[in-house]
A and B are shown apart, each in its own frame.
Chain A
Amino acid sequence: MLSVVYIILAIVVLVMLYPFAYVMSVSISDPAEVIAGRVTFYPKGFDLGAYKTMIDQPVFFSAYRNTILYTALGTFFTLFFTSITAYPLSKDKFQMRAFISKVYIITMFMGGGMIPTFLAYKSLHLLDSIWVMVLPGALTAWNIILMRSFFRNIPETLSESAYIDGATESQILVKIILPLSKPILATIGLFTAVGIWNDYFSALIYLNDVEKYPLQMILRSILVAATVDLSDKGAYAELTHSATESLKMASIAITTLPIMCIYPFIQKYFVKGLMVGSIKG
């Protein structure tokens, strides 16, 4: 019985890993072998030209730096603002609790739309600055609810005993509640980090300065071909020459591997954190 489970799991693992193995194989193979369709699993030939092309882009390193910066700052802000917002909302003695929660929840169902949001950022002088990449997503109702529910599952007696010992509310949050909330911090942190790492849309709409572009903007210019109305005469002249498969795969490898490497380290919290909603205290 157990062996059947292992076999099924092995197949699942293979299905999950094959795309990554293929991406890596193609990215380091000889481009000619790729064009001829001879690369299926193992790399054929060896050629790092695609990686060199990626790194040779003038904004490659600044883009990489920006992505890491946006991800680190954005994740930090998200955790910081979400925890200081969720904590009071988890306290029964806080009278405005229900009202403020409702106000937050409304934002889950109604957004401003793209152009009004753009105009709001413009009047806040956020456009074309790094803050537009890290601040707008820092406080979301969904994360607040997740974290508030987690806080509420921590026995109230813990906070009360700390309070009797003379701790202030902020001390209770930092010294008692947050250390007990690592699973939810890891979960929200990871979701946020991956979200910001993969985010190209904010950069596309809100940034103009090439020096501030994150990595995903470069990735898109390589991966996504433009759609051109081919029924127009001469429209083919507008088609940009598509990148070779090797270059596409190299760009995927180089941009996704770092964020994937984070998973194993916080996976233990991740599993616990995902069960947040299922445990009702």
Chain B
Amino acid sequence: MKRFLVLFVAIIMLFVSGCSSKSNNAEPSGNSSASTNEQASDPNASGAEKISAKPIEVTWFTTANTAYTGDEEIFKTIQKYTNIKIKPITVARADYTEKLNTMIASGELPDLITLYDGQKYGDLYGPQGAFVDLTPYMEAGKLDSYKAMLEKYPPAMDLTRSPNGKYYGAPRIYDVPYRVDEGFLARSDIFAKHNLSMKPETFDDLYTTLVELKKLYPDSYPYFVRWGTSHLVGNQAYFRGTSNSFFIDPAEQKYTYGPESQAYKDTLVYLNKLYSEGLLNPNFATITDAEWNELLATNKGFVTVDYPQAGDEIIQQMGSKIQQGFEFTSMLQPAYNNNRVGTVVLSGYYQSYRVISNQSKYKDELVNFLNWTYSPEGIDAMQFGIEGESYEKSSDGVVKFLKNFQTAATPNGTIKNSGLNDQGLFSVVHQDAINNYELTGAAMKKSVAFMEENQAFGKATFNAKFSDTNEKKEYTDLKTAIDTYVEEASVNVIIGKQSIDTWDSKVIPQVKKLGSDRALELINKAYDETFKK
């Protein structure tokens, strides 16, 4: 009985102390920070060019593979340059949307928020008052670096502006003419060994090459693509100047529907030929990353469409066990009807935002902070850390790290998870960052050099955005139904279950029935509103 009582009392005390210590802590800090705020806003108002006159502490919600504690290099850097101490709130990328939705629904927003789906969330919750409206700050000249950067890359301004005409987010900007994205990749060592060309002129040349490879490696499926059917078909269609869905036709400057085109039918016929002759991996719909790596490492797949980074990643993962001479680098995309479609690239606007919560006590300081991340000093700091302490930069832009960071070039560095060059945190990627982080692996360097030499890069394209949420929903619903149906029909053609002759007589009429004309009308209206205002 006594023991029981003692236990009970102990628990009650635990409770009381737990609660009281919390409220005790909360109050003075709340008071003090409020007073700091008042003092801080004075020098700001008088025009002092400081990011934050007083040291302040703010929370920042973002994602990280390895959770940030707030002591990482990037947060030390931000504090040193801006007087702002960041308390990161990080979750895994997979859990991000759930947490964000809870935060928004409950009205418990951190000071700074990284919005991966920035356009959607910014346009939806900004006008509802969740995020700070940046427009007055921009008009007052407090966002000069931000504005200059966005204006440098049209249509960044148009895409950042919400349908109500206001700006809420600070989008990620690729401050480069092109950042490499997906393209054709091939096992260049095997190609060299058997005298195969990395520059096929046409898709027929590519086919001949695949046939050769199949002869040399009978248990392989030379063409292998991960991430599902849509990725396989979409890329093949892209390099024939069409798409597996609605897309902007650069010639006509409006959206058209890809699968109606002859080029799309040619895509399916081609893939069907590859499939029936054992040149295309028959598991194309379901290949996982692990299986894809295995196929690549064991000479069971040679040509794909993927990221050029993959060529270095596989070598890093395999270590010394990699085959002698293994090399997986860019291949020139074949031309279709004498037209070689440039690869997808990123340049300018990217719809991942940073926004400030309307509940934040430090709106002015954080607006200054966002602006700073677009300034030359801020861009370098977010990418490389503190100048003179974390890194040195020579006059020709070559960066030398002064600390032992773990990067792609120095995988054995002792400082892991520095937070530098984290796309959840920085606002701008510039050429120096790309040179020092991305263009470090041997395969990546070779791929990009090869692509540049052959002028294989395309131009950045931007999707239209809807100003009307109902129209957006209508379009999305139509598109989902159509895409699902067309993907199924496409697979049936590829695996030979359905003849291509039925495409025009059965599939396209069904697509029309599902409402493709209405969808086109909606997306083209949005396109005009976005780009031709």
Contact = CB atoms under 8 A, between A and B. Distances in A.
Interface stretch (A93-101, A150-158, A167-175): A167-175
Interface in B97-115: 98-99, 102, 105-106, 108, 110
A240 B102 CA distance: 23
Contacts of A227: 94
Interface in B17-47: 18-19, 22-23
B211 interface: no
A3 to B, nearest CB: 39
The bracket for how many chain A residues form the interface is 35 or more
Contact of B1 (A33, A168, A242): A168
B163 interface: no
Given A80-B11, A205-B99, A224 B91 contact: no
Interface in A87-113: none
Contact of B322 (A32, A115, A175, A222): A32
Contact of A122 (B99, B106, B231, B463): B106
A243 B66 CA distance: 11
Given A205-B102, A234-B346, A225 B1 contact: no
Interface residues of B, number: 67
B321 A30 contact: yes
B230 A231 contact: yes
Contact of A217 (B92, B290, B321, B350): B92
B67 A217 contact: yes
Contacts of A9: none
B142 to A, nearest CB: 29
Q: Which of B92, B179, B322 is packed against the most chain A CB atoms within 10 Å?
A: B92
B116 A234 contact: no
Interface string A12-50: 000000000000000000111101110000000000000
B417 interface: yes
Q: Which of A56, A175, A204, A218 is packed against the most chain B CB atoms within 10 Å?
A: A204
B67 A59 contact: yes
B102 A114 contact: yes
Nearest to A241: B313
A271 to B, nearest CB: 29
Given A36-B297, A220-B94, A233 B105 contact: no
B270 interface: no
B202 interface: no
B461 interface: yes
A225 B22 CA distance: 36
Contacts of A174: 1, 4
Given A236-B307, A237-B181, A208 B65 contact: no
Nearest to A115: B105
A205 to B, nearest CB: 5
A251 to B, nearest CB: 12
Nearest to B95: A204
A175 B99 CA distance: 46
Contacts of B318: 31-32, 35-36
A33 B318 CA distance: 8
A278 interface: no
B521 interface: no
Contacts of B294: 35-37
Interface in B329-369: 344, 346, 350, 352
Contact of A31 (B23, B68, B317): B317
A213 interface: yes
Contact of A125 (B19, B59, B290, B321): B19
A242 B313 CA distance: 11
A5 interface: no
Contacts of A35: 290, 293-294, 297, 314, 317-318
Q: Which of A175, A224, A226, A234 is packed against the most chain B CB atoms within 10 Å?
A: A234
Interface string B296-329: 0110000000010000011001111110000000
B463 A232 contact: yes
A160 interface: no
Contacts of B64: 221
Contacts of B194: none
A36 B295 CA distance: 8
B92 A221 contact: yes
Contact of A233 (B93, B108, B289, B461): B461
Contacts of B276: none
A236 B321 CA distance: 28
Given A35-B294, A238-B352, A170 B182 contact: no
B96 interface: yes
Interface in A202-224: 204-205, 208-211, 213, 217-218, 220-222, 224
B441 interface: no
Contacts of A205: 98-99, 102
Interface in B155-173: none
A225 B96 CA distance: 11
A199 interface: no
Contacts of A225: 93-94
A122 B19 CA distance: 13
A240 B91 contact: no
A204 B313 contact: no
Contacts of B93: 221, 225-226, 240
B23 A122 contact: no
Given A36-B297, A114-B102, A242-B289, 4 more contacts: A36-B318, A122-B108, A127-B108, A232-B463
19 contacts: A35-B290, A35-B318, A36-B298, A57-B67, A118-B102, A118-B105, A119-B106, A125-B19, A125-B22, A175-B1, A204-B98, A210-B67, A221-B91, A221-B92, A226-B94, A231-B230, A234-B346, A238-B116, A240-B65
Instruction: Name the 5 nearest CB pairs between A and B, nearest first.
Output: A32-B321, A221-B92, A226-B93, A224-B94, A37-B294
